[in-house]
Structure 1
Amino acid sequence: MLSDNPIAGPEADRYGFGTHAKILCDAISAADDLPLTIGVFGPWGMGKSSFMKVCEGLLKAHDVRTVWFNPWKYDQKDEIWHALIQTVLAEIAHDLEKRRQSGEETLRDRLTPALDTVRKLSRAAAWLLARRAAGPLTAGLLAPEDIDAVQTALTAPGMDTYLHVNRFEQDFRDVVDTYTDGGQLVLFIDDLDRCTPEAAITVLDSLKLFLGDGSCVFVLAMDYQIVAEAAAKRFDNEHTDGVRGRQYLEKLIHFPFHLPGVPFEALHRNLHDRVTALALTGSRELWELIEVAFAANPRRVRRFVNGLNHAALTLHQHSDAPGHERLLHAGTLLAFQIKHPDFFTALQNDPGVWARFDEAEFAKSELGGGDAELARNNPGARRLIAAVSSRRTGADFPPPPTPAVIRLLTEVLTVSGGAAPDEVMTRGE
């Protein structure tokens, strides 16, 4: 089974991100007009997290301070901005404390005031949270039992915490300057497009409101269209064109970086040995199917390989080891299940759909009735049928499977295949 985890860093780069990451990281290191916000744009599953892990590793190798934040772990609007701030402050506090304890007296004297300011900023963030809604305090800078104290003592008039709320940006800027020795702090924010619309915009607002005066570079991974639509829901309640949502992102993002696609050859090179169905070893048709269905989307290809391997094992339990033809049929149905789930359901209910689409493609004729509606609702399904047709010259695909075979294979694939819930929610094609 192949995991869906991003690569850990530059040494694990399998898809050729290193060259593009180095160019971007060199630009980040040279930037002196800060803060700076970079948007790493790419569709779901194209490797944005892996690309940013490569960038993080390259920056750390040059002693650039970095922090990583995953906003999708937090559901509530109030919780997410608080978690963002506390994550950054906790990372700074942890490193400052280590350096203070291991350093000479002059270093301790310089770092101690910065560490005290970090703790005050943490209390200020907790004070703001307590004013709106009591919630869990993250990162360990404040113990859970301190929540009541935050709600009472920190709301008292004249408290030092209130001053830090008002001067949060300035104090944060000073802390970052001390923490980085006058350099940069690079904050990686991953998976914004997996958040609820409200949470995604809350993260973006928080960068401007609380952290927008420090020597920081914010690197945000997102599907541009999804986050733009989230912004549009806030600003364009009376409009449908989403103009203000796009303007919001364009104002926030200083440098848009569109993630280059992974070469399909790199996917093939790294995954062809992971197809455990022996009858498909070296199958050119299998990889043609994968390329047509998923292009070079690493996440979808890996999920497809997992599903196909599981289906092959299951079919082996039904009878003898499945042959090349049966496994290509299973792979095609799995591709439908992942990319066109409604079409897959239609095949379950009416197995003759496959043959009718294949015939219409060969005859270059129009589909009629329910088939025409099915094709309209599943753009790309007819193209996939054409790509795996036995009538296609230059390929060796089998004819459409019989209804009995389709029923068997769809029953098997119902257990092991299909799109993940987050893929269904974020799929934009």
Structure 2
Amino acid sequence: MLKTGRGAEAPPFLVMDVIAAANARAAAQPPGAPAVLRMEVGQPSTGAPRGAAEAAMRALSAGAPMGYTEAFGLPSLRARISRHYADKYGAVVPAGRIAVTVGASGAFPLAFLAAFDPGDRVAMAAPFYPPYANILTSLGMVPQLLPCDASTRFQPTIAMLEALDPRPEGLIVASPCNPAGTMLAPAELEAIARWCHGNGVRLVSDEIYHGLSYGMAEATAAGCSVAEAGPGSLPAPAAGDEAGGRLSSASLSSASLGPSAIVINSFSKYWAMTGWRIGWMVLPDDLIRPVETLAQNMFISAPHVAQVAAQAAMDCTEELEANRERYRRNRDILMNEMPGAGFPQLASADGAFYLWADISHRTNDSLTFCARMLAEIGVAATPGVDFDPDRGGRFLRLSYCGAEADILDAVRRLRAWR
């Protein structure tokens, strides 16, 4: 019998199976039947901003060759991302520390391979984005789950990290997170970054939902390089910052939350460019060349035309902010109406575009529950077991990045179904 590799044993990303089931249901619908409401996948329904599409068309019409770029991407795009950190966070992030990747999905294996070895433990909050654990497992690393709940707002804490013995080699945090939509306050992210840097734990900060928050301040773990700051050199928060749950502008502008952290971001969510497959990483000094050589060998470069479009997208602020306001309205509808539709226990949904619902009063089998929901009322949702194998049978995730009319229709159907 032929051998198969460790990667062949990776668990499925179940949301993709839900997408396939929803597609099949939609294809089998008779004419005039109510549409399947797609709330299973985190894909903005708007598509790329107009300016991004127009930039791509101009480049193609001009006959540009659109060949390989440097492994870390177009210099002009890297410079524009660097300016984004200055404009949004007051952070000084040199373009030389920015790597453009084939989506955030292409960034994670680069980060894991450069930072960790087979057998290394990488901690993360549970519930979590499934590919974190699936990619780590495929690479021979060990996901170390930190069971979180509403008491910690589904985010990890310093106390949880201190309780780990031995210490993990890495920690993944996400703020806003998928699936719960909760965020770490800037002071909390700073404390975790300090703890990781001081304890030799590599922090990987997933920031792909930045830009999509609804009242809480966003902070980035992108900061000064290891050459610029060592352990213990991070500035203390200004007086009153921790009590207020956020950093002062002076602390943020120092840009020193995570001098050893890896930051991963993407054009898929705020910029609504899922199929263009463009993400980026902010790297600490010690990982710049290792990640570059891995990227050269694994991907060569991200798609050239998509990089052109992504650079243009960063200047489409008016359109993108209109998208965010639509998500906010959808979020508010669900937070207000879902309790009356039989879903009273909801995570706080500070950001992203997901609602994490506790359905333990109705079932402990979210897989079957979601299958019934799709079959009986045509609402597609993702079962919680995709995000937490041990406790996810009591939860489901709903995405609210679609049309407002669909959100209202989903609430109506769910209210009648209960």
| TM-score normalised according to structure 2 size | 0.26
Bigger Rg, which one: 1
Q: Which has the higher helix share?
A: 1
Q: Which has the higher strand share?
A: 2
| TM-score normalised according to structure 1 size | 0.25
**Which structure would you say has the larger RCO, counting Cα contacts within 8 Å and 6 or more residues apart?**
2
